[in-house]
Amino acid sequence: ANLQDFITYIRGVLNSPELPLVIGRINAPSKPFRDLVRDAQAKVVSVTAATRLIDTDDLGLLDIIHYDAAGLVTLGQRFAAATSDLISE
């Protein structure tokens, strides 16, 4: 519910109901509730127009939640590609 509320809020504040939004799927391999959050992210994206979920499972980590430099570069590339795809639809 929080993610859906956030999307609605951002689009409302910016007065852009179809604003493309890209969401990075959480990785955090050993964190509790990871799978529950990931499932919720996927569900929101599946029912919300102009959104995409970016896979992060193969990105390198410095620790349990922070990506290493190469991971951040790849994540940025994925966000840019997904945003471009959403804009061109």
- Whole-number pLDDT of residue 58: 94
At residue 9, the 3 state secondary structure works out as helix
Whole-prediction pTM: 0.85
Question: For residue 59, what are its two tokens?
Answer: 């990105």
Residue 42: pLDDT band (50, 70, 90) is very high
Residue 39 has a CB neighbour count (10 Å cut-off) of 10
Average pLDDT of 80-85?
A: 96
